[in-house]
Structure 1
Amino acid sequence: MKSVVSMISLILLLSFSSAVFSDDASSFQNLTVPGQRTGPEAFAFDSTGNGFYTGVSGGKILKYLPGKGFADYGYITVSSKSKWCDGVLGTTHIGKCGRPAGIAFNDKTGELYVADAPLGLHVIPRGGGLAKKIADSVNGKPFLFLDGLDVDPTTGVVYFTSFSSKFSPGDVLKAVASNDASGKLFKYDPSKKVVTVLMEGLSGSAGCAVSSDGSFVLVSQFTKSNIKRYWIKGPKAGSSEDFTNSISNPDNIKRIGSSGNFWVASVVNSATGPTYPSAVKVSSDGKVLKRILVTDKFGNTLVSEVNEFKGSLYIGTLFGTFVGILKL
């Protein structure tokens, strides 16, 4: 039954407007992405603290600087640079253009790591440009649907997830409806240049986030409305446990600096009413500290990430045309 509710929720979300607003409209700003691109799904902030980076449909990574606006920063493929990957074409030809999902910087090297949904793990060199493919498979099994990504701030090791190992991005509704549990958590060690599987049997592993001290990584299970904790260090290293079941349909997870807390993009299901996307703040022990509804006056949209930076929440969507910025 839960899978049916989740599927209905997704269908409802996709049918509504692409706008994203908070209940306090005066504290909200939107920045439209250029080039007929859509879906600024996730964000990254470099060590300079100026502006932000986001991946959009058609395989581009955009950089935004206040006062200057958006500029092209990186490309997943050579085709991603062309108008051939703009608009609907970029979505239709996702296998040729790419579709950046999770992104994160290694602050020590300036490299930007990208989990591209159909095309695999990539890295964009310091300063931007064409991405280098790191891996599109592991142990002879191709990645079909990568999603979340984070870089350990203490070691530079990259953690990333696959939403499913059976379904492609275009079949996400089928994955949810069938209770697919073929998602995985991966680790890429740049010093060894090796990808390894850390967890299997995950139900819609959409996002991941490493703790500020590098002791554990959180992994969301969208379909099960659950977040797991995988221990990297300490006496529990190599084991996993439930972190929280209090967040409905969690997508991307982002740590909040060195506070020990995290923001989670969530779709809150209601059996008797509408479905509301929200930003949920949780502590390092899984306790919900705050919920902020993220809605618009016409309906709802699928919020993919909420990322705190300099007193504001940056709100991403899978299908919208702009980045939402909410002052806290």
Structure 2
Amino acid sequence: MDSKNTFTFLAFFFLGIVVALALQIYFFSPISPQILDVPSPSLVNSIFPPNNHLQEVTKIGEGLLKDPEDVCVDKDGTLYTAGRDGWIKRMLKNNGSLLQNWKWVNSTTLLGVATIAKGGIVICDTQEGLLRVDDDGVTTIVSHFNGSKLRFADDVIEGEDGSLYFSIASTKFGLHNWFFDLLEAKPNGQLLKFNPQTKETSLLLDNLYFANGVALSSDQRYLLVCETWKSRCLKHWLKGDLQGTTEIFIDNLPGAPDNINLAPDGSFWIAVIELSNKAMKFVHTSKIAKHLLATFPRLIKFVQASHKKATVMKVSEDGKILKRFDDPDGTVVSFVTSAVEYEDNLYLGSLNSNFVAKLSLNTDSA
């Protein structure tokens, strides 16, 4: 074969590879993406610059937990958290920092936890739905909605009448491929309500961009839900003249809001995660790049940045940022997904730790 024919062969060979790769990406990509507008954190950072306050945390139960995504504290001061190994751990108020095994759930997909008035906790299992866990064991509260199995229950809160408000992060993707939902950047999430009297589940909000944390206001007049991919939280009115309407509570957060929890003073704590590192943010502006990552998911690790830092923010009832705490390099704690205040301490859940972090709020830095 002469040099001209060799060149022609190689040209067609590599062209064939490119065409085959393009067809692979186009026809076998699991997503149908749209562009995601990731807000710049510059404005918030100029007023509330990143700091090192979360590097001052103490570690509760270090080595005894596996990625405790959420924490909650009941009226008696007992702290609960759930790990990816299925263990529900608790720390009694008068037991110092002793974390003990309480109940085991046969699941590795446990997320949001909340206390309930009748005792025990309710927990979101992304595969099984809402579960109640108490001294008698584990029971299923809700597993289906509109004839379909719940796919991705994420966070839950109980109202004063016993109703359970909970988020469905995605109706299309599950926990283990949550990054596909981010790449697709479409409103696949929902906010649901379970009525314990009628045993019925109803839809409050649809078309949410990864519905995540859920919180009730101190007077229970409105409900907050975080839209992670939109870097914002929505306010849905439950009572009053605005009942049934929805508005933006806070937007343009310097990251993606995960869980949100009511603080004792009526404000809210929001855990904020980093979706992608600075060098790879272009991915969210390119459908081709999104298809490529979805088709070859091993590449996703080069985009993710959630394990690189930690941020929590305190936000007033009218949606104004009050405080900010960070571990900007993830030196001590990273991928913080929830923050709960109890008796002047902040307890933090994380999807990248083997402990619950505790930050004293009785310091000059706080």
TM-score bin, normalised by smaller chain: 0.7 to 0.9
Q: How does 1:98-109 map to 2 (within 5 A)?
A: 98-107=108-117, 109=118
Structure exhibiting the larger radius of gyration computed from Cα positions: 2
CA displacement at 1:298 relative to structure 2: 4.3
CA displacement at 1:183 relative to structure 2: 0.5
CA displacement at 1:301 relative to structure 2: 2.5
CA displacement at 1:45 relative to structure 2: 1.0
Cα deviation digits, residues 62-119 of structure 1 (max 9, x gap): 111334722222333xxx3xxxxxxxxxxxxxxxx24221111123x11311111221
Are residue 310 (structure 1) and residue 310 (structure 2) matched? no
2:259 is matched with 252
- Greater strand proportion: 1
Q: Partners in 1 of 2:232 and 2:246 — Cα distance? A: 13
Q: Partners in 2 of 1:196 and 1:236 — Cα distance? A: 19
**Normalised TM-score (structure 1):** 0.80
1:287 is matched with 320
Contact 2:217 2:262 in 1 (8 A): yes
SS at 2:156 equivalent = strand
**Identity across matched positions, percent:** 27
CA displacement at 1:192 relative to structure 2: 2.0
2:221 is matched with 215
Are residue 46 (structure 1) and residue 64 (structure 2) matched? no
Q: 1:34 to 1:188 in 2, by over 3 A?
A: farther
Contact 2:53 2:327 in 1 (8 A): no
2:52 is matched with 23
Q: 1:208 to 1:217 in 2, by over 3 A?
A: same
The code of the aligned residue for 2:179 comes to: L
CA displacement at 1:291 relative to structure 2: 1.0
Cα deviation digits, residues 28-58 of structure 1 (max 9, x gap): 20023565x4111111111112x41001112
The code of the aligned residue for 1:313 comes to: L
CA displacement at 1:213 relative to structure 2: 0.8
Cα deviation digits, residues 180-222 of structure 1 (max 9, x gap): 3111001112122211111110111111001111111100011
1:234 is matched with 240
Q: Partners in 1 of 2:343 and 2:72 — Cα distance? A: 13
Are residue 57 (structure 1) and residue 84 (structure 2) matched? yes
The code of the aligned residue for 2:150 comes to: F
SS at 1:177 equivalent = helix
SS at 1:174 equivalent = helix
The code of the aligned residue for 1:326 comes to: L
2:352 is matched with 319
1:92 is matched with none
1:185 is matched with 191
Question: 2:127 pairs with 118, 130, 143, which one?
Answer: 118
Q: Partners in 2 of 1:321 and 1:296 — Cα distance? A: 18
Are residue 75 (structure 1) and residue 133 (structure 2) matched? no
In structure 2, stretches of 5+ residues that fail to align are 1-33, 40-50, 282-304, 362-366
Between 1:207-216 and 1:63-72, the stretch displaced more is: 63-72
Q: 1:68 to 1:323 in 2, by over 3 A?
A: closer
Q: Partners in 2 of 1:34 and 1:262 — Cα distance? A: 29
CA displacement at 1:235 relative to structure 2: 1.1
The code of the aligned residue for 1:195 comes to: T
Q: 1:68 to 1:317 in 2, by over 3 A?
A: closer
Contact 2:109 2:175 in 1 (8 A): no
Contact 1:4 1:177 in 2 (8 A): no
In structure 1, stretches of 5+ residues that fail to align are 7-21, 81-96
Q: 1:47 to 1:300 in 2, by over 3 A?
A: closer
Q: Partners in 1 of 2:54 and 2:181 — Cα distance? A: 35
Q: Partners in 1 of 2:243 and 2:211 — Cα distance? A: 20
The code of the aligned residue for 1:254 comes to: N
Between 1:219-228 and 1:265-274, the stretch displaced more is: 265-274
Aligned CA RMSD, in angstroms, stands at 2.5
Q: Partners in 2 of 1:293 and 1:2 — Cα distance? A: 29
Q: Partners in 1 of 2:96 and 2:216 — Cα distance? A: 32
Q: 1:24 to 1:199 in 2, by over 3 A?
A: closer
The code of the aligned residue for 1:194 comes to: E
SS at 1:164 equivalent = coil
- Greater helix proportion: 2
Contact 2:69 2:82 in 1 (8 A): yes
SS at 1:206 equivalent = strand
The code of the aligned residue for 2:90 comes to: K
Contact 1:187 1:195 in 2 (8 A): yes
Q: 1:243 to 1:120 in 2, by over 3 A?
A: same
Question: 1:163 pairs with 163, 169, 182, which one?
Answer: 169
